Structure 1
């Protein structure tokens, strides 16, 4: 994956709105693990179906890695692949799009058409 491609983060609509108001986004994992979990477009559906099946009120933060002020590391997750992790707060101006991310009736996710 090229550094110029968008990376994605799954969160709730409320948290995305707070980021827009305050100018920064913080995930719980920043405090518990030291980074914000992100995915590439090829990975995000696996992540959504693995960890968020059936959850409603989700959105995708579409992040331009060139605009992120914190360090981004692409790190191996054993048996799964290499994922982008943001080591610090995410500056809201790096979020170029926020997309609704509802599950289908069976609880599974597909990529939004407008991604």
Structure 2
């Protein structure tokens, strides 16, 4: 089992749960527009948040995904750039592919990343910016 993560805006994820499939590539970009959903290896979450989400004020969620379960659901997962997998197709919001849904909080403007050490292969990134 290989675990990866996707940073989602909470409202986008909750809306998708009602439909059973999540189709947002990244903030403001749909799966149809990009052709894939952006993901990151667990120890790369801090960098993605700092580089792409530092200005966002919406509530964020870290969705931890099992690549084997995504593949079993008929999705292709590729990694053209090391550490940044692409998920080719909508993510099923229920079932084995979604390992965890973890809120990403902010304290004094800095992201507090959930402890990922409990996940196989997960590193425990610093909670400080």
TM-score past 0.5 threshold: yes
1:17-96 equivalent positions in 2, closer than 5 A: 17-27=14-24, 28-55=29-56, 56-68=58-70, 69=73, 70-76=75-81, 81-92=82-93, 93=95, 94-96=97-99
**3-state DSSP of counterpart to 1:9:** strand
Q: Which moved more, 1:57-66 or 1:17-26?
A: 17-26
Q: CA contact under 8 A between 1:13 and 1:57: conserved in structure 2?
A: yes
Higher fraction of strand: 2
Distance 1:26 1:104 in 2: 29
Distance 2:21 2:2 in 1: 21
Give a deviation string over 1:5-45, Cα, whole Å, max 9, x none: 21100111112212222211001341222110000111111
Query: Any stretches of 5+ residues in structure 1 without a counterpart?
Result: none
Taking structure 2 as the reference length, the TM-score comes to 0.73
Match of 1:9 in 2: 6
Query: Any stretches of 5+ residues in structure 2 without a counterpart?
Result: 119-129
Runs of 4+ in 1 over 6 A off after TM superposition: none
Deviation at 1:54, TM superposition (A): 4.7
Deviation at 1:51, TM superposition (A): 0.7
Number of equivalences: 107
Taking structure 1 as the reference length, the TM-score comes to 0.81
Distance 1:41 1:26 in 2: 21
